[in-house]
Chain A
């Protein structure tokens, strides 16, 4: 509509009918939905895409996963091959990230380390997810005495210092990939169980659950079909934040000498090796693993934050 641009403030403009063209309507499509309706997940995805930092993390992680899969394959150098004449070479055209004190190619080892870090992170998150959902779901849904007992147990376990337990288990079971995952999940599921329980407690009193119950739906089906899909938001966020903390724990343990054993590489092991020679000026041996640990944790953290905002717009600020 063409409203005159310059108006004296106190003069009411004459509103002419010819400015408007009435929209033609007919009764049949009066109630039709104009735009396609978006599901909760589509909505969340749209919000996530708008978050530039989260998308940056997302893209980096995809790139990292791709390189973790193909990096060691496309590289001309072998992960464990030692070439003593190539000790501690600085980054060059042949060895992009340089070599370490055994003459191994740091570029290849970095991607190999990405495999291990990502594997540890995802496995830990997945196992936490399964245990946490079952435990938290049962406690929250059953409520009452069951809930009380189950949560008392969780409360006591929650008091356990997490990394100390992990270190203890690593000492007992001996270093290795499997033990890291076991050690991380022994205490890691507790946080997930608490979140699931809190969600279930809240949602189970909603009317649609009651409706489902009046139809005679079985408990297992209610949990699977009604409760879990509605608790997914916080659970996914928690998982995205579990992965970096597991990756950090692996690097930390490897740094203390309790992680993956030679000749295989993880970022923590490489950083630890690199640290001992930092004073000799071989900066690339520490720099690249440290850079990738930090970038990976950064990406997961911003992606997790972005997901939190996207999945729960009420909390958004």
Chain B
């Protein structure tokens, strides 16, 4: 276990370093400096600006300076909004995005599992077909389309929910629904197929023979094993939800991290793009790691230190 953790941490650090390096050199491969376009600045101001942001140093020196500042969790300044640092943006945007993402994840996981169980228990019957049609539709409809459909129907036509922003729970309904449909569909399908498999196993028949109630069989015996595949995709789903927040926050005008990220892309604000990318990546890598740990806890048969041989 100890060596496994150590190896995993090392791999995480390497992945993160790779992302930082990749981001840094890609961003600096773009011709032109942020300060010489569309701006009438004198030579001296120009030089001062470059000196201030260390842009006059050799590339490798800049790289190490950036690495150093990252280690102390300083993501640097924003170029288009000089009064702000990337840390400011992250500090303001991340809690909102995190809230949106977490609510979405919880909704998606809970309703997906329930739907999957229902479909498996009513295998090849009407509920099964309905749930699976719903699931395929959920996977097929992109979240930005879902978002606009929801806005059009529930906000504009019926006026049940507000169109945009993120202030009360009322405002949260539509964005989380739009974001949750896809992951929920994936979880429902996974739960259904693994549940169907588990239900045919001998220990379930034994439980039935003992005269346990169906509810006890499903929730105490079958579900625990059926959920393992669901846990494995949680990491990828978290990544999907995370990137989904980019468009959802854009559509619903939610002042989260995704909105700043998309804005920084459109304005080519390189330090902000770099900072948010690195932050996102670190967050995702951490999620994947936690999912792996959770997997080991849920299923003691899986020896974590053996898993790496896979």
Interface residues of B in 135-165 (CB under 8 A from A): 136-137, 139-142, 144-145, 148-149, 151-152, 156
Interface residues of A in 231-252 (CB under 8 A from B): 244, 248, 251-252
Asked whether B247 lies within 8 Å of A255 as measured between CB atoms, the reply is yes
Q: Does A172 contact B (CB under 8 A)?
A: yes
Q: A256-B265, A294-B145 are in contact. Are A278 and B151 (CB under 8 A)?
A: yes
Contacts of A167 in B (CB 8 A): 265
Which size class do A's interface residues fall under? 35 or more
B285's nearest neighbour on chain A, judged by CB, is A159
Contacts of B251 in A (CB 8 A): 275
Asked whether A172 lies within 8 Å of B27 as measured between CB atoms, the reply is yes
The size of the chain B interface, using a CB distance under 8 A, is 47
Measured in the bound complex, the distance between the Cα atoms of B22 and A180 in whole Å is: 18
Q: A156-B15, A168-B23, A256-B265 are in contact. Are A294 and B140 (CB under 8 A)?
A: yes
Q: Does A283 contact B (CB under 8 A)?
A: yes
Measured in the bound complex, the distance between the Cα atoms of B22 and A94 in whole Å is: 51
A174's nearest neighbour on chain B, judged by CB, is B30
Measured in the bound complex, the distance between the Cα atoms of B23 and A172 in whole Å is: 10
Main secondary structure of the interface of B (DSSP, over half): helix
Contacts of A162 in B (CB 8 A): 239
B282's nearest neighbour on chain A, judged by CB, is A161
Contacts of B118 in A (CB 8 A): none
Q: Does A88 contact B (CB under 8 A)?
A: no
Q: A159-B15, A161-B239 are in contact. Are A271 and B145 (CB under 8 A)?
A: yes
Choice from A164, A251, A295, A317 contacting B277 with Cβ under 8 Å: A164
Choice from A161, A275, A295, A302 contacting B280 with Cβ under 8 Å: A161
Q: Does A32 contact B (CB under 8 A)?
A: no
Q: A171-B265, A301-B136, A302-B136 are in contact. Are A275 and B148 (CB under 8 A)?
A: yes
Asked whether A161 lies within 8 Å of B281 as measured between CB atoms, the reply is yes
Asked whether B140 lies within 8 Å of A301 as measured between CB atoms, the reply is yes
Q: A156-B14, A164-B281 are in contact. Are A252 and B142 (CB under 8 A)?
A: yes
Closest chain B CB from A27 CB (angstroms)? 45
B139's nearest neighbour on chain A, judged by CB, is A301
Binary B-proximity of A241-285 (CB < 8 A = 1, otherwise 0)? 000100010011001111000000000000100010011000100
Contacts of A171 in B (CB 8 A): 26-27, 30, 265, 268, 273
User: Would you mind naming 12 contact pairs between A and B with Cβ atoms under 8 Å apart?
Assistant: A159-B284, A161-B280, A163-B239, A255-B247, A256-B246, A271-B148, A290-B142, A293-B142, A293-B145, A294-B140, A297-B142, A301-B139
